[in-house]
Amino acid sequence: MEKRKFKKVLIVDDVVTTGSSIHALTQALQRLGCQQISSICIAAAHPSMK
């Protein structure tokens, strides 16, 4: 992957169930050189629904 100039990234997700998508994206962004990664979601699945 090509290094990017963006150092701060905000991940916006509609629903978080296990968090694996955000985790995988965070790891990829770190490999690209992002220094600050934040995430926000609209809703989270209740633990009993996983």
- Where are the chain's structural domains? 8-44
b/e per residue 1-32 (b: at least 16 CB within 10 A): eeeeeeeebeeebeebeeeeebeeebeebeee
For residues 5 and 35, the answer to whether their CB atoms sit within 8 Å is no
DSSP per position, 7-41: -EEEEEEEEESSSHHHHHHHHHHHHTT-SEEEEEE
Question: What is the reported pLDDT for 48?
Answer: 76
Question: What is the reported pLDDT for 49?
Answer: 63
- pTM here is 0.74
Could you read off the pLDDT of 1-50 as tens digits, one per residue?
Answer: 666 677 899 999 998 888 899 999 999 999 988 999 999 999 988 777 65
